[in-house]
Amino acid sequence: MPFELPALPYANNALEPHFDAETMEIHHDKHHAAYVTNLNNAIAATASLSEKTIEELCVNAGKNSPVIRNNGGGHYNHSMFWKLLKPNGGGAPTGKLGEDIVSTFGDFAKFKEEFAKAAVSRFGSGWAWLVVAEGKLAITSTPNQDNPIMDVAEVKGAPVLCLDVWEHAYYLKYQNKRADYINAFWNLVNWDEANVLYAAAK
């Protein structure tokens, strides 16, 4: 079954003024769509991969071709990213995740600082992640379209929160000011979705 581009759960302009409508349109309709198309093309001629889920393709990324690794990761990562954003989001995390962020990092401000450090220091293109690794919350980052469920990940874990720090995610509005883009992200985080992922990871 070919993979499909998921619809955004909100309008392109719903995340204004933090993420602009033009960037969201290009990011979803062009970049994410291209990952899906390229992934489908790459697996079409490979019978052993044609029935795999996106998670199965990512878990075995090191055994697959770079085309499948990169585009499969791009599809997995973005599909999660869109759900972790929402209009009028942000604020402090709630529920069990909020409690465990405080107990793990000291307080929410310290967590934000550590997450932002992972995001801003990722050289070139990549992602910042909050994951459950060996039963505990951890912050990590990955290059390109890699993610923490891949067998090639430096820190392996179940994702709870992610942030795309490829330039195409922010350059139209923020130019080279990645830190400003990261600050804007905190106004959009969908902590309800993050709690769902956290519960599943535990």
Whether residues 191 and 115 share a domain: the answer is yes
Structure tokens at 36: 């899906």
Q: Is residue 132 part of a domain?
A: yes
Q: Is residue 16 part of a domain?
A: no
Average pLDDT over residues 104-113: 98
Whether residues 125 and 38 share a domain: the answer is no
Structure tokens at 43: 């697996």
Residue 138: closest CA among 117, 156, 121 = 156
Whether residues 113 and 168 share a domain: the answer is yes
Taken in order 124, 152, 78, 188, is the CA torsion positive or negative?
negative
Q: Does residue 17 have a cis bond before it (omega within 30 degrees)?
A: yes
Q: Is residue 88 part of a domain?
A: no
Q: Is residue 101 part of a domain?
A: yes
Whether residues 67 and 151 share a domain: the answer is no
Among left, alpha and beta (phi > 0; psi -120 to 50; other), residue 152 is alpha
Rounded to the nearest 10 degrees, how much is the dihedral formed by the CA atoms of 109, 199, 131, 129? -70
What CATH number should be reported for the domain holding residue 49? 1.10.287.990
Tell me the three state secondary structure of residue 132: strand
Q: Is residue 32 part of a domain?
A: yes
Whether residues 78 and 102 share a domain: the answer is no
Q: Is residue 108 part of a domain?
A: yes
Whether residues 46 and 143 share a domain: the answer is no
Q: What is the mean pLDDT of the chain?
A: 97
pLDDT digits over 139-197, tens only?
999 999 999 999 999 999 999 999 999 999 999 999 999 999 999 999 999 999 999 99
The beta strands (E) that lie in the chain are given as 126-133, 136-143, 158-164
Provide the domain limits for residue 197.
95-201
Domain closes at, from 83, 114, 135: 83
Whether residues 79 and 134 share a domain: the answer is no
Whether residues 25 and 68 share a domain: the answer is yes
Given this model, what pLDDT does residue 105 score? Answer: 98
Domain closes at, from 83, 115, 134: 83
pLDDT digits over 42-73, tens only?
999 787 888 899 999 999 999 999 999 999 99
For strand 158-164 and strand 126-133, is the pairing parallel, antiparallel, or unpaired? antiparallel
pTM for the model: 0.97
Average pLDDT over residues 13-17: 98
**Tally of domains within the chain:** 2
Given this model, what pLDDT does residue 1 score? Answer: 61
Q: Is residue 110 part of a domain?
A: yes
Whether residues 109 and 191 share a domain: the answer is yes
Whether residues 78 and 166 share a domain: the answer is no
Average pLDDT over residues 36-43: 96
Whether residues 102 and 194 share a domain: the answer is yes
Whether residues 176 and 100 share a domain: the answer is yes
Q: Is residue 75 part of a domain?
A: yes
Predicted confidence (pLDDT) at residue 126 exceeds the cutoff of 90? yes
Structure tokens at 164: 């795309």
N-term to C-term CA, the chain: 30
**137-147 burial, b if ≥16 CB within 10 A, otherwise e?**
bbbbbbebbbb
